[in-house]
Amino acid sequence: MNEMQNNAMRPPVRPSRTNAVVRQASDWVVTGLAVLSTFLVVAPLVAILTYLIYRGASSLNWAFFTQVPAPVGESGGGMANSIVGSAVILGLASSMGIPVGIAAGVYLAEYARGKVLGQAVRFTADVLNGVPSIVMGIAIYALIVMQQKHFSAFSGGVALAIMMVPTVTRTTEEMLMTVPNAVREAGYGLGVPKWRTIMSISLRTASPGIITGCMLAFARVAGETAPLMFTAFGNQFWSARLDQPMAALPLQIFVYAISPFDEWHRLAWAGALVLIVLIMVSVTLVRVAASRGIMKGNQ
């Protein structure tokens, strides 16, 4: 072979009869392994979902959704306070995290394009995204819980809000970048001030993708337990106060699962099923939106 052929293009083996058989056999073996891997990956998912339904569905009765946990040793009761608590905390988190995330994304796409500050913000958002959720819990504990001297739904909301920000920021920025500059110029040309152009034209054009990004961020924090362990802390009873500990579904599942009581285990399965359904629905919606080209900015 002459030197002009680069290494990657050289045939991998010298042609010969036995070689041909070995090569073909290797090909089949590897194909089989690949198929097997896929199967082994899909199997746990199917297994987990099946078990959740199997163990949890039977406990999903009216009481489950409306009652608080029964005292230890008694049967019945539900996880109503956890479900409501999660809703409250997630609502808090979204109301703080989504506006900040969208605003930061707007800044990156509309004010800081190409500037060093923009790159620094983007990099920092990536760093924030990689913080282990338990560490987030420690930090918020020190920042808020220790100052207030009590656990609170509010601190839990803050912890989850911070975790939502990087995802929302990145999606907002990406979606705004797909808005053609010609559309912005049309707005400026009409004498529309920049802020109004951003709100009524750029954001509106990018809104399907931005909403999808928010749903993604929401689905991600909906299942988070670790950040809530030292902030919202959990609560066995009904509580609607933001400055008191509050129950949350993932947290409660954890507490029940590691407890020694069968009754609580049953509730844990049911709670996990509810949580999974909520998250799966969000993820599926995001996938549908992505396949419709919304994430690419197609209209």
Partner 1 sequence: MGVGIQVENLNAWYGSNQSLFDISLHIPANHATALIGPSGCGKSTFVRCLNRMHETNPIARATGVVRMGDVDIYKESSPVEIRRRVGMVFQRPNPFPTMSIYDNVASGLKLNGFRNRRVLDEVVERSLRNAALWDEVKDDLKKKSGASLSGGQQQRLCIARALAVDPEVMLMDEPASALDPISTSKIEDLIFQLKSQYTIVIVTHNMQQAARVAEKTGFFLNGHLVEFDQTHKIFTNPHDKRTEDYITGRFG
Partner 2 sequence: MTEPTNVRIPHITVSQPSVNIAAEALEVPTGPSPVRDFLNRRSSGRVVDGIFGSAMFLAAISIFAIVVLIIFTLIHGSQLSIHAFGWKFFVKEIWDPVNGDFGAWTFIYGTVVSSLLALAMAVPLAIGVAVFLTEMCPKPLRTPISFLTELLAAIPSVVYGLWALFILVPIMRDRVGPFLTKTLGWTGFFGGDNFGIGMLTASVILAIMILPIISSITRDVMLAVPQNQREGMLALGATRWEMIRTGVLRNARIGIVGAVILGLGRALGETMAVTMVIGNRPQIVKSLFAPGYTLASVVANEFTEATDDTYVSALVEIGLALFLVTIVVNAIARMLVWAVTRGTPSRAH
Q: What is the 3-state secondary structure (H, E, C) of 52-63?
A: HHHHHHHHCCHH
Q: Could you tell me which of 60, 75, 68, 125 has the C-alpha nearest to residue 275?
A: 60
Read off φ and ψ for residue 293, nearest 5 degrees. 85, 5
- β-pair partners for 69: 77
Give the residue with the Cβ less far from partner 2, 44 or 73: 44
Judged by beta carbon, residue 22 or residue 183, the one nearer partner 2 is 22
CB of 179 to partner 1, least distance (A): 9
Q: CB neighbours of 7 closer than 8 A, spacing ≥ 6?
A: none
107 is a site residue for partner 2 (CB under 8 A): yes
Residue 31 interface partner, choices partner 2, partner 1, none, CB cut-off 5-8 Å depending on type: partner 2
Number of H helices, E strands in the chain: 13, 0
Q: Which of 1, 40, 116, 190 touches partner 1 by CB under 8 A?
A: 190
- Figure out which of the listed residues 3, 4, 11, 114 binds partner 2, where binding follows CB under 8 A: 11
* Euclidean distance between CA atoms 83 and 272, whole angstroms: 11
Footprint (CB under 8 A) of partner 2, residues 203-222 = 212, 216, 219-220, 222
Task: Report in angstroms how near the CB of residue 209 gets to partner 1 at its nearest.
Answer: 12
Q: Which two tokens stand for residue 23?
A: 């090569």
100 binds, among partner 1, partner 2, none (CB under 5 to 8 A by kind): partner 2
* Residues found near partner 1 in the complex (CB under 8 A): 180, 182-183, 185-193, 196-197, 200-201, 204-205, 207, 299
